[in-house]
């Protein structure tokens, strides 16, 4: 299988605080990876590094064998220009905890904006795709609604459709259900299940939904203290964890 993401000793610090301390991970085409662990363990920071929303301070991070956000010239690492970073991000969709929809735009306009502005795609073609995506996430009748006219679950489904509009090779989900009322969680997870079952989409998901991780994901990686403590199939990591730190964490959340 082709490698989509490869992290080699990735470090990230904020001042004197080391948030990532040598993360090694690999995600192959069609694989769904769940990142679990306590708050502050570095899960969301790592996800933001994958999309170069945060610059790494050490190690190497590759997307399809290309450095994320950088290029190597004459043995030295140089950050890519903004246009190249934007193009690379266009291949990676990201869904955040807090939706991040533009409040003054309709659902349809939120979905259409990036393909038109970033990829310069024809407006009529993008509009048709946006309508199709809204139908796919069960919101065909909400095209003209602004975010304040939608429930949290509906806003998150629009956010997923917006990410899909760029036709990404990889989807990143940063605790996509954590800001939702419990009764709205299922509708978002159902859309994510459909992406796996129908599209075979490659995903990295930061989540506290252990049932979803067990059911849908191919690999679970437990992070603590800025490092991957253990990883493997869900049945192994969630059912028979090897490390005491993993067992302690799971005893509190399962």
pLDDT single digits (tens) 120-176: 999 999 999 999 999 999 999 999 999 999 999 999 999 999 999 999 999 999 999
Per-residue model confidence (pLDDT) at position 113: 95
Residue 1 has pLDDT above 90, yes or no: no
Q: What is the mean pLDDT of the chain?
A: 95
Q: What homologous superfamily is domain 3-91+169-253 in, according to CATH?
A: P-loop containing nucleotide triphosphate hydrolases (3.40.50.300)
Write the DSSP string, 148-160. GGS-HHHHHHHHH
Confidence of residue 99 (pLDDT cuts 50, 70, 90): confident
Per-residue model confidence (pLDDT) at position 254: 80
Q: Is 254 exposed, middle or buried (0-12, 13-18, 19+ CB in 10 A)?
A: exposed
pLDDT mean over 22-28: 97
Per-residue model confidence (pLDDT) at position 75: 86
Determine the Cα–Cα distance for residues 220 and 189; give it in Å rounded to an integer. 17
The closest alpha carbon to 242, from 212, 220, 211, 225, belongs to: 220
pLDDT mean over 41-61: 96
Confidence of residue 98 (pLDDT cuts 50, 70, 90): confident
Give the domain ranges of the chain: 3-91+169-253, 99-167
pLDDT mean over 95-107: 93
**Contact, 77 vs 101, CB < 8 A?**
no
CA-CA distances (angstroms) from residue 58 to 10, 21, 227?
A: 6, 9, 14
Q: Is 206 exposed, middle or buried (0-12, 13-18, 19+ CB in 10 A)?
A: buried
**Encoding tokens for residue 234?**
């869900």
Determine the Cα–Cα distance for residues 139 and 155; give it in Å rounded to an integer. 10
Q: Measured over all CA atoms, what is the biggest interatomic distance in the chain, rounded to whole angstroms?
A: 55
Determine the Cα–Cα distance for residues 142 and 186; give it in Å rounded to an integer. 19
């Amino acid at each position: 299988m082709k490698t989509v993401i490869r992290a080699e000793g990735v470090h990230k610090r904020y001042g004197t605080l080391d948030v990532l301390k040598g993360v090694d991970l690999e995600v192959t085409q069609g694989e769904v990876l769940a990142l679990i662990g306590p708050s502050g363990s570095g899960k969301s920071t790592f996800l933001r590094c994958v999309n170069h929303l945060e610059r790494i301070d050490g190690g190497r991070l590759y997307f399809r064998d290309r450095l994320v956000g950088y290029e190597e010239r004459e043995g030295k690492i140089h950050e890519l220009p903004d246009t190249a970073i934007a193009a690379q991000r266009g291949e990676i969709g990201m869904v955040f905890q807090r939706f991040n929809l533009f409040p003054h735009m309709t659902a349809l306009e939120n979905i259409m904006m990036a393909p038109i502005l970033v990829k310069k795609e024809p407006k009529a073609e993008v509009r048709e795709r946006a309508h199709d995506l809204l139908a796919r996430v069960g919101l065909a009748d909400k095209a003209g609604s602004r975010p304040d006219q939608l429930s949290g679950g509906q806003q998150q489904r629009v956010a997923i459709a917006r990410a899909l509009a760029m036709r990404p090779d990889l989807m990143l989900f940063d605790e996509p259900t954590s800001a939702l009322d419990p009764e709205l969680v299922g509708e978002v997870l159902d859309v994510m299940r459909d992406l796996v079952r129908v599209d075979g989409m490659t995903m990295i998901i930061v989540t506290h939904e252990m049932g979803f991780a067990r059911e849908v994901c191919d690999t679970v990686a437990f992070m603590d203290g800025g490092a991957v403590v253990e990883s493997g199939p869900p049945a192994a990591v969630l059912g028979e964890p090897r490390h005491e730190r993993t067992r302690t964490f799971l005893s509190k959340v399962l």
